[in-house]
Every structure is written in structure tokens, then in C-alpha cells.
Amino acid sequence: MSLPAVPWAAVESRARSVAAGPVVRSGGADHLLVRDLVTDSRAVTPGCLFACVRGARSDGHRFAEAALAAGAAALLVDRPLPLDAPQLLVPSVRALLGPLGALLAGDPAAHLRVVGVTGSNGKTTTSTLVRGVLEAAGECAGVVTTLGARVAGQTRGTRLTTPEAPELHGLLRWMLDAGATSAVVEASSIALDVGRVDAVHVEVAVFTGFEEDHLDHHGTIEQYWASKALLFTPERTDSAVVVVDDPWGRRLADQARVPVTRVSTRPEVPADVRVVGWRTGLDGTSVVVEDDGGRHWICSPLVGRVHVGNIAAAWATGRSLGLAPETIAAGLAATAAPAGRNTLLRGPGGPLVVVDYAHTPRALAAAVQTARDLTGPGGEVHLVLGARGRRDRYKRQGLGVSARAADTVWLTNEGSHGERPEAIVEELRVGLIGGSAVVHTVLDRREAITAAVEAAGSRDVVLVVGRGHETTLTDDGAPVPFDDAEVAQEALDSRADELVAEQAS
């Protein structure tokens, strides 16, 4: 992908049009051409604009000299630097990343039909479903989620759920160049809070639901909610689809200053799109929704009651985009679940294994209930549970409380990030006090998954949560390869081999 070159004068003009304060340019002729906007000095390309972002642990101004040595053409700063290079002094570098990232990528969002999706749970699944609906309508649709970016059979990895603004605009440019006519962007609360989706105006903003999360960043639940609510303003979206099953969703729907389509999976909650019936099993999920066009039957290959709300939200989004009911239904029926979202594994004579990303108390409760729905007669639920180190400690007891609904719990390491795994597990264990589940502690995650698979019967379900699609695990040092689904499948295969050997003896 070759990004268009932009004159230095145009960069200054865009900065002046959006900055909340004075902008001072020093050095560089008007016709100096700038390509790309980079925030990491290690990723500098010749001719780029290097943004000196102040972070929690480092200050990008310290790396300006290295960026220039690597070929940067100019600097974006919030304090003048004693360097012989063109500089644009602005009140806040971070606040300009979106507008300038968009400019240097050719303002790709302006040429795409964009849908933004936020919420505590279900963002990745709902984004994937909406993309499927758009493709069923004949669009070439890109998507940016926790799993990375995809368009027209091409994929790119992303380090963050929602990439930094310059990278996000670069991905939208990549999608546009690949023939995309639309894009679905998963917008995390942190991304909204720090401006990663700035200069992306969406046609529909989707809210999938809300519960406490990321308070290590936001501080309070009110701040967390307020960050998500930023997407639902006239400056950022034309309309909204809001799941109103919880009070936070209803509050957002009441306060949003754009047209809102309310979605509910609960019959007692008034909504524009209502789920009036559903059924889920190993073959997928069927949902009956009712809207102003009547009742519609939707079939999806996604498994689990947790996906009922995601399916309904995707349906409402399709309707908000003006698509025909039969087109939306076809798109939902053709869209497979994203990796690590109720991924089902099975081997001869072994239990059903479900690998899921559930990492909040409410998501875990829903995952355990789904696992219970999938057990055979008299079957039990074996839960492999951990919690991430150095993150959201307040959630750990809540996860333990939700885990009480399982029959057996295998407490293990989920990636300690330098924290003591034993301490993390003990905080989970506090939430399990008073429950009837049998609790084992096996800190080695591979051993825990293997032990759960070996202990479960053929009618049981082993539920492995917390990591979903992730393929590396981090403790004290560098990340090491670890895929929950691969480990579980190895355990199932080993069990099947043992069964064959027994039958042959």
C-alpha cells in the first residue's frame, strides 16, 4: 500500500482546523511532502511525520532524534525540540493523531460505509456478524476486531483491539485500496477514551451491553460508561443500535442525541427490535425477532445463548442500514463464529470442549450456562478458569462467584504478567466460597486443561475460558506460544488414542 504524499502546508492547515489551541509551524517549506504518520520510532519510514506522543511510561519526544536519523521528514510535538527539523507544535499530540492520520491516509473513512461496535461483551462477534450482513448485501466489507483486520480474503494482525489512530486510518486505506465499500470497526472504551477512532464518522454505532471492566484504566464505572457513550454523539455517528437489556443500555438510549433503535432479548423490556423466541444447540442458534416489519426467523451457526443478543443487534444494524430482511437473514446464516468464541472441539469417546474468550463475570456466567445447555443427560460442566495478571483485579472475586455454577472448577494461570499466579488464583477462590463446585488448583495451564479433559465423561462439557483466540501466554518474560484450543484438542486426541489402545488389547 502506497499512501499519498501530503504537502506540509496541508498538514498545518488540518491541524489548525481541529486543534484546541494555537498551532505553530517551524521549518519546512509549504511544498515539503510528508508520507504517513508514525508514533513508534522503530517503525519510521522515509518521509514520514513522527508524532511525539506522551504515554504513561515514556515520552515520544525522547525518540525524536532517532526518528529523524531513520528518515522522518518532520515532527509533531507539544513542546519545541532543539533539533534542526521541521516541527509542528500543537497543544496535544495525541489529540491530533486521528485528524492527521486520516489526512495522511487520504481520509479513507469518508469513502467507506462504516459501522462502529462497542460494548463490554460481544463486540467481536457482533462486528463479524455485521460484516457478514454487509457482504450478503453485495458489499466488499472490511472488519477490524480483536482478531485483527480482514478484507477481500486478506488479513493483517493488530496488537490492540482498536489500533492507534494512524494505524486504524492506514487499515481503512488498505481496505479501500482492496475494493472495500464498507468497514466494521470494533471500538474499545480505551480507544474511545484516548482518541484512537477520532476522525472516523460511522453510519451506525452499535452498543452490545455493559458491565464493569477496564477500571484499571478508567478508574470508575461512570468513566467507563462515559467513554463508550462518546461513540453515540452526532459528531461521531448518524444513528445508533443499542441493546437495552441492562440499565446502562437504557440510559444510553435515552441520552443519545441521534436516532436510536432499541434491541432487547428480554420480553419485559420495551424495544424496537425484540427477541420473542430462541433455541440453541450443537447445530447453532435460531432466533425469532419482531420489529415494525413483523416477525422474522433467523438461523445462525453460532452456538450458545450468549449469541442471541449479538444476533439481534446485528439484525437491527442491518435494518438501520436499510437492508432487506431476507438479505440480513442470509448474511447471519452464512457467518461462522469468530475464533475463540464458543469454539467447539470433540474427540471419540471424550467430552465436548468449549473454548471461549469470556473474561468478565457476566460473560463467564453466560458461558457456563451455555456449557450446561450442551451437556448430555446427567452431564457435568468442568470449568478451566484463570485471570490475567496486572489487570482488573476487582473482577477476580466476581469471576469466582460466576464459576460456582460449574460442577468442577480447575483454577489455573491465564498469564500472570509478572504477578504471582498463586495470588491470582487465591482471589478467584474467594468468590467460590459457599458454592458447591469441586475446586482443583493446577497452575500449569496445559496440565489444567489436560486434567479437565481426562476427568470429564462423554456427556460432560469442559469449558476453557479467558483467552479464546489468543496464541501466546505471558508470565515473567517474553510471550510464549500457547493456544487453548490446540492444547484441548491434543488432550482429546490423546484420550482417543488411549481408548483405541484399550479396545485393541
Asked if 344 and 329 touch (Cβ cutoff 8 Å), the reply is no
Residues contacting 19, CB < 8 A, separation 6+: 90, 91, 92, 95, 96
Asked if 499 and 453 touch (Cβ cutoff 8 Å), the reply is no
- To the question of whether residue 412 is assigned a binding role by annotation, the answer is no
Widest pairwise Cα distance in the chain: 84
Asked if 151 and 174 touch (Cβ cutoff 8 Å), the reply is yes
- To the question of whether residue 161 is assigned a binding role by annotation, the answer is yes
DSSP 359: -
Q: What is the DSSP string of 17-36?
A: HH-SS--EEES--TT-EE--
Q: What is the DSSP string of 440-453?
A: EE--SHHHHHHHHH
Between the CA of residue 446 and those of 150, 252, 384, 387, 475, what are the distances in Å? 30, 42, 10, 15, 14
- To the question of whether residue 396 is assigned a binding role by annotation, the answer is no
Nearest-angstrom CA–CA distance, 157 and 148: 5
First to last CA, the chain: 60
Q: What 3-state class would DSSP assign to 73?
A: coil
- To the question of whether residue 57 is assigned a binding role by annotation, the answer is no
Nearest-angstrom CA–CA distance, 267 and 270: 7
- Determine the Cα angle at 328 with ends 324 and 330, to 5°: 115
Q: What 3-state class would DSSP assign to 144?
A: strand
- For cell 487520504, what's the residue? 106
Q: What 3-state class would DSSP assign to 296?
A: strand
What b/e readout covers 76-106, taking b as 16+ CB neighbours within 10 angstroms?
A: bbbeebeeebbbbbbeebbbbbbbbbbbbbb
Between the CA of residue 56 and those of 5, 188, 266, 301, 394, what are the distances in Å? 31, 18, 42, 42, 21
Nearest-angstrom CA–CA distance, 272 and 264: 8
Asked if 14 and 99 touch (Cβ cutoff 8 Å), the reply is yes
Of 123, 108, 318, 111, which is closest to residue 208 (Cα–Cα)?
123
- To the question of whether residue 181 is assigned a binding role by annotation, the answer is no
List residues forming the annotated binding site. Answer: 41, 161-162, 188, 196
